[in-house]
């Protein structure tokens, strides 16, 4: 078996992009990845083992987050990411207010297609069957825990500082699809 070509990877991504807003197959997350790979002539998880509701699917050759590219498949197990954004506004007299917003996204047992891979472990992906939404969608998720450098701006003497912390837990596996 060999890795899919760059053209096949592009076909996998185009399949996901072309289905945004539509329900693919039975609406399960597996169906989107399965049909995308098959449409590009790649092997699917069923070629690597039994497909059962609780199986840890294999979608090809395992790769690292650093090797991940568009068209690869991501398999989640008990994944959770919490993004905490702290915004501090300091007035010219030194008084300040602070607001904290927290957003948590989970993927207990899930499959998605990588579309755009960022430098910091951020990935735009195509997925479906998220929070009872059975149609395909594009989502940005994070795969590397970190505290980002503070972003500070000053306008009319008012300083705004935004700090973001990303905490990732669970198991995530990345796969490069293979040809038969």
Instruction: Please give the pLDDT value at position 76.
Output: 98
**What's the pLDDT band for 120 if we cut at 50, 70, 90?**
confident
pLDDT at 40 over 90: yes
Q: What is the mean pLDDT of residues 4-16?
A: 98
Share the mean pLDDT of the chain: 97
Instruction: Please give the pLDDT value at position 14.
Output: 98
Instruction: Please give the pLDDT value at position 100.
Output: 98
Q: Output phi, psi for 121, to 5 deg.
A: 85, 20
Q: Output phi, psi for 7, to 5 deg.
A: -65, -40
Residues 63-84: tens digit of each pLDDT? 999 999 999 999 999 999 999 9
Instruction: Please give the pLDDT value at position 115.
Output: 98
Instruction: Please give the pLDDT value at position 119.
Output: 85
Residues 121-170: tens digit of each pLDDT? 899 999 999 998 999 999 999 999 999 999 999 999 999 999 999 999 99
Residues 43-52: tens digit of each pLDDT? 999 999 999 9
Tokens 């092997």 -> residue:
43
């Amino acid at each position: 078996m060999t890795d899919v070509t760059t053209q096949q990877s592009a076909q996998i991504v185009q399949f996901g992009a072309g289905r945004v807003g539509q329900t693919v197959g039975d609406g399960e997350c597996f169906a989107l990845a399965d049909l995308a790979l098959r449409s590009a002539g790649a092997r699917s998880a069923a070629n690597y083992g039994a497909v059962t509701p609780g199986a840890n699917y294999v979608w090809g050759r395992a790769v690292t987050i650093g090797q991940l590219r568009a068209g690869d498949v991501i398999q989640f197990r008990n994944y959770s990411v919490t993004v905490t954004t702290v915004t501090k506004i300091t007035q010219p007299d030194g008084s300040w207010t602070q607001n904290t917003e927290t957003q948590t996204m989970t993927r207990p047992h899930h499959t998605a297609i990588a579309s755009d891979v960022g430098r910091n472990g951020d990935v735009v992906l195509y997925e479906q069957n998220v929070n009872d939404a059975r149609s395909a969608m594009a989502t940005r998720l994070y795969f590397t825990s970190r505290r980002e450098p503070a972003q500070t701006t000053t306008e009319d003497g008012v300083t705004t500082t935004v700090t973001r912390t990303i905490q990732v837990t669970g198991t995530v596996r990345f796969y490069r699809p293979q040809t038969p």
